[in-house]
Structure 1
Amino acid sequence: MIGVRVVQKVSSTRGFAKVAPHVIPALDRAVHRLTRGKVLLSAQLLPGVILTSTGARSGLPRRTPLACMPEEGGRSWILVGSNFGRAGHPAWTANLLAHPDAEISWQGRDIPVTARLLEGEERAAVWRAVLAFWPPYATYQARVARQIRLFRIVRRS
């Protein structure tokens, strides 16, 4: 098995940033569909969800596989809009800004959630936790001029 440090190093490269956005989500969606939501390939390394959000412009459902940082208690998760260290914000972040109510598939269960963009001191504290959780996010942030968006998604009652 490939070590976590090797994967972290590879995922920090510019080559990975060019290829991964085209390959990883497609593989994740296919495997997730084939296993009826029980398996997410990228979640073998990092916890992951399939986010179903409403398109900011189209209004259509958009399914996006994402790494996440689960928070204690199992009622919330942090989503990181790193876009693999590419210049623009990922589309799913605009979707959540326009339509914060969404759904995630987490460990084979569909869970309705509400998203909130983190800002200020709250964002700073979560960013430190995110960097401890997955250090390559620091490389992604150093590569771009924009501030990487962080969202906390919380189960809806």
Structure 2
Amino acid sequence: MTRHEDEEIFDSTTEWVAKHIRRYVETDGKEGHLYQGWPTLLLSTRGRKSGKLRRTALIYGQDDDRYLLVASNGGSPQHPAWYLNLAAHPDVVVQVGPDRFAARARAADAAEKQPLWRLMTSIFPLYESYQAKADRDIPLVIMERLR
């Protein structure tokens, strides 16, 4: 993702998420990395319609040096906006604790997804119930750091 340092980032419009992001950013990840016991990262995507940078906080997992996300949207019928954005613009910016880096995101294919899904549901078991109520296959996203 090309990003100018002075480019404004628009945080989630969901108030509790925006508050979490502010605390994460203000403390350089010292507060907010663990949210209610779950590991979280900040994901910045390029808006597929607006072209603006959009930031949200998400639970993540790790598989070696890859970062994993689940596009559950709480099991709703629609994919979350951040997933639609990265599907259109796969270059993203990630912050894990104090570490900020550029990454490329993609949805796991069916063969990759199964073991990674087990990993993510071991971190956040509610993903299983979200998938059970969703009328869509919930994507699992793999992000690889750009070197």
TM value normalised by structure 1: 0.78
The reply to whether residue 91 of structure 1 matches residue 81 of structure 2 is yes
Counterparts of 1:80 and 1:42, CA distance in 2: 17
* CA shift for structure 1 position 106: 0.7
User: What do residues 118-144 of structure 1 show as CA deviations (whole Å, max 9, x unaligned)?
Assistant: 121111221122222321110111111
One-letter amino acid of the counterpart of residue 30, structure 2: K
Alignment of 1:42-61 (within 5 A): 43-61=35-53
- The alpha-carbon distance between structure 1 residues 88 and 66, as it changes in their structure 2 partners (threshold 3 A), is same
The structure with the largest strand share of the pair is 2
**C-alpha RMSD over aligned residues:** 1.8
Counterparts of 1:153 and 1:34, CA distance in 2: 24
Counterparts of 1:116 and 1:87, CA distance in 2: 20
TM value normalised by structure 2: 0.83
User: What do residues 54-110 of structure 1 show as CA deviations (whole Å, max 9, x unaligned)?
Assistant: 1111111001111101223xx211011011222211000011111111111111121
User: What do residues 10-59 of structure 1 show as CA deviations (whole Å, max 9, x unaligned)?
Assistant: xxxxxxxxxxx935412211212332443216535111110011111111
Where does structure 1 lack aligned partners over 5 or more consecutive residues? 1-20
Where does structure 2 lack aligned partners over 5 or more consecutive residues? 1-12
Aligned residue number for residue 68 of structure 2 = 78
Aligned residue number for residue 102 of structure 1 = 92
Aligned residue number for residue 132 of structure 1 = 122
One-letter amino acid of the counterpart of residue 108, structure 1: P
After TM superposition, what 4+ stretches of structure 1 lie above 3 angstroms from structure 2?
21-24, 41-44
The reply to whether residue 117 of structure 1 matches residue 107 of structure 2 is yes
**Quick check: 1:47–1:68 contact (8 Å CA) kept in 2?**
yes
- The alpha-carbon distance between structure 1 residues 59 and 135, as it changes in their structure 2 partners (threshold 3 A), is same
Aligned residue number for residue 14 of structure 2 = 22
Percent identity between the two aligned chains: 32
Counterparts of 1:44 and 1:108, CA distance in 2: 19
